[in-house]
Amino acid sequence: MGTPIIISVKRRAMDCEFELVLRGTDRQYLLDAGEEAFEELARLEEQMSVFIPTSEISDINANASNRPVRVDARLFDLLLMAKRVSAETSGAFDISVGPLARRWTAGDEDFSVPTSEEIRQLTSKVGMRHVRLDERDYTVEFDRPGVMLDLGAIGKGYAVRQMASLLRDRGIDAGLVSGGASTVYAIGHPPDDDAWTVGIRNPVEREKRLTTVKLGDQALSTSGGHERFAELDGIRYSHVIDPRTGRPADNLLIAGAVTPDPAESDALSTAFLALGVEETRRFCSTHANVGAVLVPRPAPGAELEIIRIGT
């Protein structure tokens, strides 16, 4: 048995920086396991990115309005899960929100607020009811033209899940796997505590920490309208859309979700941003292993309020 060591390695993917913090005794072994995890990450990005024309998601988006498109079994499982989370959150989480999301974040100089009529038309292409997932042959089919899938709110968490599971298979029993500021998953616990302590960044004073959460074999994901947005006349339009209204979710500054599954926490943090405080409370009261950290948008000049539910 060597002396315990901790290594940290980073890799850019999915438009953010992934980091692995791994505890063990053999430095080279940890580095090799980390490299394998990053190779898995690269494979997942090639499969799931809407920005890569050869990805399976791009294949679905190009063809599923014309015919059933067969997809990899693990990707199919992820789509099934996304559909379930959509149903459980009354449609607040919806991977088919693309037509609306693109319109609201086409945030260059030309950005204009869409009219109600435009929103109504875009909304007719949004909703998991337009997406048929056939479990017999792993195919995806859309019931009309213009439907598209975008895993932007679940893909990083899914990658974190797959990387953590690979690292566990390599015998790593303590560490952190994170995908940017979006999702962090804690494997086991650090040497001197029964859980890892991770921070949530203050959305207003970005260098400061807002609060911390303790994680043991659990993930924390955070979503915030402040991460990416379009701006017009001093108003910021969040990149998270409430598919139920067709408009940006703007009641909360940040929503955090804690669950054992990083893909689920990623999806739920996005859902909570749209659901707001009361609906998130209701969701958590019926989902025993889900916790939330919510920060409502403060009145001008008021202090930030942090609402913790089961965390």
The answer to whether the CB of 181 falls within 8 A of the CB of 199 is: no
- The verdict on 155 binding ligand ADP (CB under 6 A) reads no
Least CB distance to ligand ADP at residue 17 (A): 13
Q: Which of Mg ion, ligand ADP, none has residue 187 at its interface (CB below 5 to 8 Å by kind)? A: none
Instruction: Look at the block and give the residue holding tokens 């998991």.
Output: 128
Tell me how far, at minimum, the Cβ of 3 lies from ligand ADP, in Å. Answer: 36
What are the two backbone dihedrals, phi and then psi, of residue 164, each rounded to the nearest 5 degrees?
-65, -40
Alpha helix positions (H), 124-261: 155-169
C-beta separation of 82 from 267 below 8 A? yes
Options 190, 227, 260, 306; binder of ligand ADP; rule CB under 6 A: 227
CB of 218 to Mg ion, least distance (A): 16
User: Quick one: tokens of 197?
Assistant: 């302590």
Q: Cβ distance 225 to 253 under 8 Å?
A: yes
User: How do 291-296 and 252-259 pair as beta strands?
Assistant: antiparallel
Helix (H) or strand (E) holding 256: strand 252-259
**Binding partner selected for residue 240 from ligand ADP, Mg ion, none, CB under the kind-specific 5 to 8 Å limit:** ligand ADP
Q: Is 95 in the site for ligand ADP (CB under 6 A)?
A: yes
* C-alpha span between 288 and 9 (Å, rounded): 34
Q: How far is the CB of 173 from ligand ADP (least distance, A)?
A: 27
Sites for ligand ADP among residues 165-224 (CB under 6 A): 182, 223
Task: Indicate which of Mg ion, ligand ADP, none lies near residue 241 (CB less than 5 to 8 Å, by partner kind).
Answer: ligand ADP
Binding mask 181-220 for Mg ion (x = CB under 5 A): ----------------------------------------
Residue 270 near ligand ADP by CB under 6 A: yes
Query: In angstroms, what is the minimal distance from the CB of 270 to ligand ADP?
Result: 4
Q: Judged by CB under 5 A, does residue 265 bind Mg ion?
A: no
Residues between 229 and 258 with contacts to ligand ADP, criterion CB under 6 A = 239-241, 243
Q: Could you give the C-alpha distances from 114 to 110, 128, 239, 260, in angstroms and in order?
A: 12, 23, 14, 38
Nearest-approach distance from CB 138 to ligand ADP, in angstroms: 22
Using rule CB under 5 A, residue 242 touches Mg ion: no
Nearer to ligand ADP, 20 or 82 (CB): 82
Taking the complex as a whole, the smallest distance from the CB of residue 271 to Mg ion amounts, in Å, to: 8
Q: Which string of b and e fits 217-236 if b means at least 16 CB within 10 Å?
A: ebbbbbbbbebebbeeeeee
Q: Please state whether 263 falls in left (phi above 0), alpha (psi between -120 and 50) or beta.
A: alpha
For residue 9, give the H/E element and its range. strand 5-13
User: Which chain residues interact with ligand ADP by CB under 6 A?
Assistant: 93-95, 97, 101, 150, 152-153, 156, 182, 223, 227, 239-241, 243, 266, 269-270, 274
